[in-house]
Amino acid sequence: MTTPGRLIDQHNRPLGVLRLSLTARCNLSCPYCQPDGGEDSRLSLHQRLQLIRACCELGLTTLRLTGGEPLLAPELDELLQTIQQGRNSRHDPLHHLQEVALTTNGTLLDGCRAEQLKQAGLDRITISLDGATGASVSRMAGLQGGERHGEQLLQRVLQGIAAAKAAGFHAESGAIKINSVIQRGRNDDQLLPLAELARQQNVELRLIEYMDVGNRNGWSAAEVVPASELLSQLQQRWPLEPLGRPQHGTASRWRYRDGAGHVAAVASISQPFCGDCNRLRITAEGMAYTCLFAEQGHDLRPFLAPDSSTYELQDALKAIWQQRTDRYSEERDQRQGEIRQPAEMAYLGG
């Protein structure tokens, strides 16, 4: 098999990561995401594989499966198994995939499920958790049952982390991480408890600034806690040593000087990283978006019809990426006051 050619956009950014949403449905209702469960029709397993293979031919090396909640997608296991088979064949474009990851809220991740995912070829799991107490978890997950239900959900997530470790997802190598969105006035009191929890679990905590994705979440800049403020609070409690942000990465990382692991920050508001963003997003319905903050997507379904060729799909993807100019986070201050209708986070897959 030939090595994929380098596909670059208008800012010389290569295609490297595909975030593929499997469903817009979710069993939680986090305030920064606000899923409505709406999806008209989802791509078939065959269509998803067509897309992944086409992207691999164009330079894709990392696949992240998202939602909604991807563990609600019935075709997940078969998709992973087929991808694993392709990665093991030099004659399959999937052979170029270096990593397959999944983002989940962890509530459905029991021992059996974690083992199935590992056996099916999943490399890495990121679990979303925005609080370390029952009350905060209930508030951030949009639960109606208050603190008691929040505590039950927290315990399920912790059990999910334990199940993933037992299945062979090793936290020491970064195969399990925790994502936490910190929102001022809502869960900013959870920073240190979440960090303490992650340190106890020996799992890297990724702190994410509250983002203006879509309009449903009622975003306000006043509710953003800058990464520098978050890291300053952590530094006062546990001294940190900077490790930097890897090329094309979303998170800057630090090491705890006492040896208790790592923490990272995704500062897309205060420290944009548009300059080397290499991510393409495709929704569960087959719409391609070249930016998390995009207003317009590109419908790929005509190129996934039974009478369409692989070359037509590749040409469509090439055209989308080569015309890409997105750098919204870097332009945010200049675009204040614009009336925008960006796609919602649950629809995009985050």
Low-confidence ranges of the chain (pLDDT < 70): 1-5, 37-40
CB 82 within 8 A of CB 89: no
Question: What is residue 149's predicted lDDT score, i.e. its pLDDT?
Answer: 94
User: What is the value of pTM for the model shown?
Assistant: 0.96
CB 157 within 8 A of CB 127: yes
Dig out the tokens for 12 from the structure: 């010389």
Question: What is residue 335's predicted lDDT score, i.e. its pLDDT?
Answer: 83
Question: What is residue 38's predicted lDDT score, i.e. its pLDDT?
Answer: 67
pLDDT tens digits, residue range 215-245?
Answer: 888 899 999 999 999 999 999 999 999 999 9
* Calpha distance 321→15 (Å, rounded): 8
* Calpha distance 217→37 (Å, rounded): 15
- Whether domain 17-348 has CATH 3.30.830.10: the reply is no
Element (H, E) at 127: strand 124-128
Dig out the tokens for 344 from the structure: 């919602």
DSSP state of 199: H
Helices within 109-225 (DSSP H only): 111-119, 134-141, 146-167, 191-201
Q: Token pair 């239900």 is at which residue?
A: 149
Q: Which residues of 117-132 are buried (b: 16+ CB within 10 A; e: fewer)?
A: bbebbbbbbbbbbbbb
Question: What is residue 160's predicted lDDT score, i.e. its pLDDT?
Answer: 97
* Calpha distance 312→242 (Å, rounded): 45
Backbone angles phi, psi at 263, to 5 degrees: -135, 150
Return the amino acid letter for 97. L
